[in-house]
Structure 1
Amino acid sequence: MKASFKVGLCALAIQSALVGQAIAEEQAESQPMETITIIGSAAAVNDIPGSANVVTQDQLEAFDYSDVMRVLAQVPGVYVMEEDGYGLRPNIGMRGTGTSRSEKITVMEDGVLVAPAPLAAPAAYYFPTMGRMTGVEVLKGSSAVRHGPRTTGGVLNLISRQIPDDGRDVFADVAIGENNYGKIHAAAAGNKDNIGALLEVYRYQADGFKKLPVNKDTGFVKNDVMFKLKGRSLPGASTYQETELKYKYSDEESDETYMGLTDADFANSPYARYAASQNDKMKTDHHNAQINHFARFSGGTELSSQVYYNKFARNWYKAYKVNGDSLGSGGIDAASAFDKNPTAEGLSVDIKANNREYYSYGIQTEAVMPMGDHNFIIGGRYHYDQMDRFQWADNWMLNQDLSMTLVNAGEPGTDSNRIDSGRTAAGYAQGEFVFGDLQVNAGARYQWVELRRKDWGKTNPSRQGSPDKDVKNTVQAVLPAIGLTYRATDDLVILAGVQKGFAPPAPGNDSAKAEESINYEAGLRYNMGSIGIDAIGFFSDYSNMHGNCTAAQGCDEEKIDNQYNAGEVEIKGLELSANYTADLGAVDMPLRLAYTLTDSQFKNDFESDLDTWGSVKKGDELPYLAKHQLYLRAGLEGNNWTFNVNARYLSDMRTQAGQGTIPADRLIPSRWVMDLGANYRIGEQHKIYLNVDNLTNKVYAATRVHGSLQPGKPRTAILGYRYSF
């Protein structure tokens, strides 16, 4: 294994000592409404006029996933493009927004923006560690208008571990698996005199499932540490208040690459990697600080506020040219040919240090004021973020023995040398009006965004004098939304909504337009006993959809950061989910189905340099958007054991905009992938679990970015043990 568990074991010892000091006591006050959620609880879903899904802690523990892609498969209307197989950098979209680097949705952790620079660089390579989360919320439709800055697709909110209301909570979780997978996860928390604290450590790693022709790993190691401290009012206080400080640190080193395989090589050896990619490596470092404050006043008004700060540094050192050709324009073919027949003159490989630093900060607040049967909500956010790109490229020679020799080291700042920044001020007001069985949620959001780019060019790495380019762009929008829920019976709720969607343009494009759409939805929820059914149809009518040219989109170097306005686009579909738990006497059988039908069309002809769009004709379908997605889960639960199997289906998917039959070189074939999760409890404190991802060892292509195929993760078994009290 590429790194030891010493850090994690030290953390376990520290946590055990802390927990020994935790003292359980009764609390006179009831637990306040969570300030870090956007839905509240699974039970609150029925009162939301739109699509809302909550994945609970029990559901997460059924398979103990560290990959958010596998978690979100059970949520209809969400699309995830797999990339590295471990979920380190997922590509998430909602209702057809596009998936590249999750840039078209709002991603939050504990109710605040978590992307390193959601305005200046929304496609950054960062995602919170899924394995340490205790809940996931997905909100789409009219209710998403409260969150922003992107309101078209929806909101993904990840919920971290909370300090218990009283008593203490401690656990340690260790696991090992194939490809030298290893995990240590531990946390300790307690309360004393209305003061609570929590310390959590999560470390996981693997040597990787791809194989280089040289003796190097293709895996990763990631560390994540979180600390929380919370104080709350003493019993009898006229105004209940609580304040929480959260600090989180994470780092990652992963041997990942953009260099996939040709179709022929994929068919022959799908988990191979070319020798030209052997030096590719991502290194990241992330700091996050957050202060939450909550107050409940005697009249029932609740006020929640958050102040947050993020700092993220990363350098993805990855091959981007082979023999002078980009990966998508002949570079992959050259790398493939050399591995099969190494020549004495070697192979030229250009490796770019995609070195960037990000930081963001903001403050947001929301007040909920009850007025009889109605509620009035007002809130706002100020946010600033920045990305500093300071990149260079090195030239290497791949030798006949497949070793690599540095030929020319580039000077930092001579490839990309600029600062992109964005600031936004937003305010919203929403009324929740109840008229018998009818609830009306009506409101609007005002969003002002300023974007700026300062570019010193490739010949001024010291940034002396004024930048060569200093471009500022300001956009603003008023975003109304209305949602209705009608309780037809005790078990049946009918819902409908309409809202205006918005996404700001990219920095450095002073003439670029914002993305705008009108989004409609209508459906029903049925809940009776152990049966739950949701069926929601949606229609997104874009007056302008935009796409940003990034390396992840396969764009050539000179085109990166260009924005392309697609104009009118229509996306419609159906989200269907159903739950049923059968009582079989000694055991229960939980069943779940989630299905998404999606149809998309560009309504204009236009040209773009995005590898995924290309030359678009009216009527073309959007890329990386499967028409059919299906999730099925079946389980058995006894008194001290559970056994679950799920299956995910994805229909044929095109990798570039088009219509009709999908050409073979632009196709991701349909697939079924199955996972297994089982655990057995020994008393109240011990649990043994077994998870098997890709149970049938299905070989499948996950993506074709850069004109080459990347595989999905093969069968991987993980055995773990958890101790808690």
Structure 2
Amino acid sequence: MKSRQFPLALCTLAVSGALSMTALADDQKSVMETISIVGSKTPVNEIPGSVNVITQQDLEAFDYSDVMRVLQQVPGVYVMEEDGYGLRPNIGMRGTGSSRSEKITVLEDGVLVAPAPLAAPAAYYFPTMGRMTGLEVLKGSSAVRHGPRTTGGVINMISRQVPTNGTEGFADLALGEDGYGKLHAAAGTSGEQFGGLLEVYRYQADGFKELPVNQDTGFVKNDVMLKLKAMSQDSASFYQEAEFKYKYSDEVSDETYMGLTDDDFANNPFYRYSASQEDEMKTDHHNAQINHYIDFKNGFDLSSQVYFNKFHRNWYKAYRVGGDSLGSGGIDKASAFDKNPTAAGLEVGVKANNRDYQSYGIQTEGSMMLGEHTLIVGGRYHEDEMDRFQWVDTYQLNQDLSMTLTNAGIPGTDSNRIDSGTSAAGYALVELNWGSLHVNTGARYQWVEVRRKDWGKTDPGRENEPDKNVSNTVSAVLPALGATYNLTENWVVLAGVQKGFAPPAPGNDSAEAEESYNYEAGVRYSRNDVGMEAIAFLSDYSNMHGNCTAAQGCDEDKIDNQYNAGEVKINGLELSGSYEPAVGELTLPMRVAYTYTNSEFQNDFESDLDTWGSVKKGDAMPYLAEHQFYLKAGVAGDNWAFNVNGRYISDMRTRAGQGTIAADELIASHWVMDLGAYYEFDKHQKVYLNVDNVLDKTYAATRVHGSIQPGKPRTAMLGYRYQF
């Protein structure tokens, strides 16, 4: 990218608007209750299944813009670092697999956020963590209300809400190493019947990797969000709220799939081969959402959302070097040429992974009190599509390590197809309460149709009938049962079972859905400033999907194909605890989380999926660490706080297998520690310091395409926040 400067007009607008307002309040209700999974009215101890709520106060401890760093405190959640900044997160739950977060359900304000959850679930767009005020993570039977994937769990990201009354706002500016910069500002106001909010979030960095041609390896990302809200008068027969939300974001990032050989990683882990110098991702995203809530004042309320998403991306990146794909010799050729450039040069194929996505839908949920019990009925209609219209350019990598375009490809002459999907779902749940016993039971019906039209590589104008025109239709009834029982005032036991489901992709010729039964049982303890939870889980798949994506290192001719693994069993244990004692005028917040996971394929099979390969019964799944551990400790006074956390991941294999992990398939165990601190001058101003990887640990994060991507090195950031 040629420029890393903040646009003056954008900065001026955001700061001047924010400084005219006062700090946004944390008090959120009404429509907020309809976009929250947990909701403030439901005690967490009464929710069956694993539930983790990360509050705004929790988020401010480290001020992360990377959602994966936030989620590492949640047991049973797995993340795979890639670019170091969390631009395209890889998140899984309870062994689902983490690549591009495609096997879980991700929501923002209660609405699906993946660009095309049915047609292409790999989430190359993800909401910006830094503008969120909370996260909810649900696993187990509690996730039955949300689809289309119901196996692993749900992440609901909660954006900033319109203030409940008055005028409020803030401005936040931070600078850091590797050219890091952040501007975050918001302004909102609300009267008796109308309110609004404007928020701007921009962050950027020059990157921590080094190209020999002296180019940046970083990113720029912008977010703008507008909310308008209307509320009924106090004299109205029924209380109602309507809210309109519009969000725009864009990104330009110099990201690549081209990692390093083991020898080059050992020599300089942050080097990038010159063959990747043209690699760049460009995206823009539009989202519109209308929320409506009505309280009929007789124990019945109804919430509805209408939503539309449009997303464009073009990841222009090297995919062949010297005629070989990255995973089949291309990385080695790129490495050799940088060490010994020749006058003859080296041919590099750069593919424009150009795609357009759109999705839209409507969902509604009604809740009725039946004495001490509650009946919940809801449904969703959803459509989405992905339009791939791609081409390949050819470059010459020169002796001076610059690149010269030698042949410009014609758009539509590489991948040229449309994948689409339609789904309809309905569910009914009953929350039964008999004193200390709380039972949630119900079922979800899910119908899905996915389609593919492929014009091949010889009809870029789509003037003829597609070479391939296929569709798959599946449906499923997904029961769920969960219960909690209060043994004492402090101790709660819980258990649950639910049927997991994921629809087939358009490229799954067998049209087999992913199905599983998922079990859990555990205990919770809470007393004053102490909280603990222990949950054992078992995910028993009768058929597991593996989706072939470039993010997993698949060959280009197999991208978006889907493979069936048959039976897989994953079991584990999730432990967490928190303690916040007061010592004099100080508080000492502490949190610990641990996840044990064991996975086994139950049959032999051959797969073209790079991370599976030739699988034997008893093989463990790739990118699934057996042990994960998180520890946070801090100290806080009236106007200051200091926190550190540490995350440990045990040895992890990058390809299905068992026994000793081969050196070229190993992500070695590592600890990474972060630091966060702040000081408040008064109720309006504070400064804060955050340091990621404070001990500057060098570690391998992934081995996609058979090469190593490094984790982010030590990166310090200093910020100032003003609110009044």
TM-score (normalised: structure 2): 0.98
For residue 397 of structure 1, what is the aligned residue in structure 2? 396
For residue 450 of structure 2, what is the aligned residue in structure 1? 451
Maintained 8 Å contact 2:534/2:576: yes
For residue 216 of structure 1, what is the aligned residue in structure 2? 215
The Cα of 1:101 is off from its aligned counterpart by: 0.4
For residue 722 of structure 2, what is the aligned residue in structure 1? 723
The Cα of 1:33 is off from its aligned counterpart by: 5.9
CA distance in 2, matches of 1:32, 1:92: 28
CA distance in 1, matches of 2:245, 2:368: 27
Deviations 1:511-565 (A, max 9, x none): 2310000000000110011100011100000000010111112111222222211
- Residues 277, 699 of structure 1: CA spacing in aligned structure 2 closer, same or farther, 3 A cutoff? same
Amino acid at match of 1:355: N
Aligned residues: 721
Maintained 8 Å contact 1:23/1:167: no
- The percent of aligned pairs where both chains have the same amino acid is 72
For residue 155 of structure 2, what is the aligned residue in structure 1? 156
The Cα of 1:45 is off from its aligned counterpart by: 1.6
CA distance in 1, matches of 2:496, 2:214: 56
Maintained 8 Å contact 2:19/2:171: no
Amino acid at match of 1:397: Q
CA distance in 2, matches of 1:32, 1:159: 12
CA distance in 1, matches of 2:30, 2:379: 25
Maintained 8 Å contact 2:567/2:603: yes
Deviations 1:640-675 (A, max 9, x none): 000000000000000000000000000000000000
Worse-matched range after superposition: 543-552 or 694-703: 543-552
The Cα of 1:41 is off from its aligned counterpart by: 3.7
Q: Secondary structure at the match of 1:489?
A: coil
Is 1:60 the equivalent of 2:62? no
Is 1:636 the equivalent of 2:635? yes
Deviations 1:336-375 (A, max 9, x none): 0000000010011000000000000000000010000000
Is 1:196 the equivalent of 2:198? no
Is 1:71 the equivalent of 2:73? no
Gaps of 5+ in 2: none
CA distance in 2, matches of 1:86, 1:13: 25
Worse-matched range after superposition: 369-378 or 556-565: 556-565
For residue 6 of structure 1, what is the aligned residue in structure 2? 8
The Cα of 1:13 is off from its aligned counterpart by: 4.5
Amino acid at match of 1:283: K
For residue 428 of structure 1, what is the aligned residue in structure 2? 427
For residue 647 of structure 1, what is the aligned residue in structure 2? 646
Q: Secondary structure at the match of 1:511?
A: coil
Maintained 8 Å contact 1:31/1:165: no
Maintained 8 Å contact 2:376/2:428: yes
For residue 281 of structure 2, what is the aligned residue in structure 1? 282
Amino acid at match of 2:678: N
The Cα of 1:381 is off from its aligned counterpart by: 0.1
For residue 354 of structure 1, what is the aligned residue in structure 2? 353
Amino acid at match of 2:489: D
- The within-5 A match list for 1:17-96 is 19=21, 34-41=33-40, 44-96=43-95
- Residues 436, 33 of structure 1: CA spacing in aligned structure 2 closer, same or farther, 3 A cutoff? farther
Maintained 8 Å contact 1:42/1:54: no
CA distance in 2, matches of 1:243, 1:307: 11
- The within-5 A match list for 1:284-433 is 284-433=283-432
Maintained 8 Å contact 1:390/1:413: yes
Q: Secondary structure at the match of 1:59?
A: helix
Deviations 1:278-336 (A, max 9, x none): 00000000000000000111202110000000000000000000011000000000000
Maintained 8 Å contact 1:8/1:203: no
Maintained 8 Å contact 1:498/1:518: yes
For residue 610 of structure 1, what is the aligned residue in structure 2? 609
For residue 561 of structure 1, what is the aligned residue in structure 2? 560
CA distance in 2, matches of 1:626, 1:298: 50
CA distance in 2, matches of 1:256, 1:55: 29
Maintained 8 Å contact 1:203/1:223: yes
CA distance in 2, matches of 1:33, 1:299: 20
- The within-5 A match list for 1:484-523 is 484-523=483-522
Amino acid at match of 1:603: Q
CA distance in 2, matches of 1:23, 1:543: 48
- Residues 19, 327 of structure 1: CA spacing in aligned structure 2 closer, same or farther, 3 A cutoff? same
Maintained 8 Å contact 2:30/2:293: no
- Residues 42, 570 of structure 1: CA spacing in aligned structure 2 closer, same or farther, 3 A cutoff? farther
Maintained 8 Å contact 1:327/1:706: yes
CA distance in 2, matches of 1:562, 1:298: 50
- The within-5 A match list for 1:114-129 is 114-129=113-128
- Residues 501, 340 of structure 1: CA spacing in aligned structure 2 closer, same or farther, 3 A cutoff? same
For residue 479 of structure 1, what is the aligned residue in structure 2? 478
CA distance in 1, matches of 2:509, 2:323: 32
CA distance in 2, matches of 1:685, 1:443: 48
CA distance in 1, matches of 2:553, 2:182: 33
Maintained 8 Å contact 2:144/2:150: yes
For residue 265 of structure 1, what is the aligned residue in structure 2? 264
CA distance in 2, matches of 1:43, 1:532: 17
Amino acid at match of 1:235: D
Amino acid at match of 2:346: L
Task: Give the aligned CA root-mean-square deviation in angstroms.
Answer: 1.6
Q: Secondary structure at the match of 1:342?
A: coil
- Residues 31, 308 of structure 1: CA spacing in aligned structure 2 closer, same or farther, 3 A cutoff? closer
Q: Secondary structure at the match of 1:276?
A: helix
Maintained 8 Å contact 1:37/1:111: yes
The Cα of 1:615 is off from its aligned counterpart by: 0.5
- Residues 523, 30 of structure 1: CA spacing in aligned structure 2 closer, same or farther, 3 A cutoff? closer
The Cα of 1:586 is off from its aligned counterpart by: 1.7
CA distance in 2, matches of 1:135, 1:124: 20
Q: Secondary structure at the match of 2:70?
A: helix
